[in-house]
Amino acid sequence: MTRRVVLALLFVAALVACRSASPPSGPLPGMAANGPENGGNPIDTLQTRDPRAEVDALLTAAQDAVVRGELEEFHDCEAAIFEALWRCSEVAGQPNECPSYLDDALDELTRLAEQVEDGDVGEEPPPEPQPVPEERVAEVQKKARAAHFDLPVVINQEVTSLIDFYTGRYRERFIAALQRGAPYLPYIREELRKANLPEDLAYLPLVESAFNTRARSRARAQGMWQFMAGTAKLYGLRCDGLVDERNDPYLATQAAVQHLSDLYGTFDSWELALAAYNSGAGKVQRAVKQAKGNRNFWTLRRYLRRETRNYVPALWAVVVATKNPEAYGLPPIEENPVCIARVPVEGALDLDVLAERGRLDAEGLAEINPALTRRLTSAQGSYQLAVPCGREQQVADVIASIPPNERVRRFLHVVKAGDTPSAIARRYGSTVEAILAANGIRNPRSLRIGQTLVVPRGPAERPARAAARPRPGVEKVATGMPDRYIVRAGDTLYSIARRFGTSTEEIQRRNGLQDTTIRPGDVLLLTR
């Protein structure tokens, strides 16, 4: 069954379930007047009496969430879109009075959902530059004379076209990216200064990830600087099922600065070094060879893949626009660095336990420790936990006060005869990779009977937001038990059963499943 058919069936089911209820009024479920300017979710401000306009706005927010790699936000939008589509049908009187509109909305929602399932999330690559008049190029060159660049910025047709893109149809995302990067820019510049590198390189993460610390590309590059795992490990970043330091904006910045310095040392050209940062040094060296040794980027760029040949013009465009914001009608962005300190943690520690014992903000603690992908430190070795400046001693005292057997509230497993890492992972809704990393195990066959394992939880969710809005693909019925559920990547029958207070056997019985195999996009009946 295609994803679009699944979505359509769920929407029709939602119509049937909601017909007996009076149409909701006011904001969408869980929404409050808490927009982006107040640090809230973009969809929180979408309060309109026109359901079609509501769906359009929600689809735009969903598209933006996919671009930024904010999957929880995308799923919030997905659930809200179902509600808004129901409103559309109520306004029309009958569902079949606006079929083309519903079809278009479902088509776009299907495309986005499939993109998420494929892992194709994160910042989109720079678009292909379009021809622009020479007069426009001259106008941009004139504006640029008021700014100082410490990179060899070129302003030509390609760069001008991308300036118009970033300050035109991409404008709102561009401003949002600059606001997202504001806490990190001072630190990035400081690291660049220490390495004697151009400070304008601080804007490279805007092209890479729109300053999203958890961005993930289809090629599995991760974090604000979009490191591949292999390159990240070369520069000392830890990447495993428990800790991914590519997500740490400070550690990843240090690695990126070293990498950029090495690439410049190899090519002695910032344009070629930047192209190599995007595609790898080998591809740039091959392009130089194809260009018969010509090292001029603008000559050899035709030998590079599309994303790479537009990568350098995109950075030049970003630097030109950000260094002269008034000329392009961009608002001033206040850079507000966050001061963090580090506290060493020995062994496994659950961030939620620490937050509860120390009366700390659990979500804030997780936010400044994005490398802890499971909100849990490893059972082996030491981890440098990020904490707000001035709270180091308080946090260290709280950690010291927690008995060893209480540092991880759940997911301690004693190995029994017949246990395997995959069986344990299925039981707890975790992954083999995360279990091995959490316990410092290299050989999955080395488990010992009686051994106690730390089993990391599944991917962390934001409890407050998850509770405020309906889960995607879930319809609530009078009993409180979801009627049906759309399987997401990473779900197991066990994790779904535990989430909704049932058993794997019961889900298998209701759905006629012969085994526990499920796939993303499958629809499971939980009640009848």
Residue 496 near residue 524, CB atoms below 8 Å: yes
Burial 175-192 (b: 16+ CB within 10 A, else e): bbbbbbbbebbebbbebb
Both tokens of residue 369?
A: 């420790």
Nearest to 224 by CA among 51, 422, 371: 371
Rounded CA separation 411/391 (Å): 28
Give me the long-range contacts of 202-206 (CB less than 8 A, separation at least 24): 203/315, 203/318, 203/319, 203/322, 204/256, 204/260, 204/274, 204/277, 204/315, 205/181, 206/174, 206/177, 206/178, 206/181, 206/318, 206/322
Angstrom distance (rounded) from CA 486 to CA 107:
17
Residues present in the chain in total:
528
Q: How far does CA 139 lie from the centroid of its chain?
A: 37
Q: What's the token pair of residue 187?
A: 């630190």
- Residues ≥6 apart with Cβ < 8 Å to 49: none
Q: Of 179, 190, 156, nearest to 312 (Cα)?
A: 156
Give the closest residue to 312 by CA, choosing from 263, 282, 274: 274
CA–CA separation, 312 and 240 (whole Å): 31
State the catalytic residue, choosing from 123, 208, 271, 475.
208
Say how far apart CA 76 and CA 90 lie, in whole Å: 22
- Alpha carbon distance 492, 258 (integer Å): 40
Q: Please, which residues have CB within 8 angstroms of residue 469's CB and are 6 or more apart in sequence?
A: 29, 30, 76, 79, 80
324 token code pair:
């002269």
Enter the tokens of residue 66.
Answer: 């996919």
The reply to whether 356 belongs to the active site is no
Q: Reduced to 3 DSSP states, what percent helix, strand and coil does the chain have, rounded to the nearest 5?
A: 55, 5, 40
What is the residue whose two structure tokens read 């306004």?
A: 91
- Decide if 232 contacts 220 (C-beta within 8 A): no
The whole-angstrom separation of Cα 127 and Cα 309 is 10
Task: Tell me which residue of 457, 187, 148 sits closest to 322, measured CA to CA.
Answer: 148
H-type alpha helices, 216-341? 229-234, 249-267, 270-279, 281-290, 297-300, 306-309, 311-323
The DSSP line for 135-166 is HHHHHHHHHHTTS--SS----SHHHHHHHHHH
Which of the residues are catalytic?
208
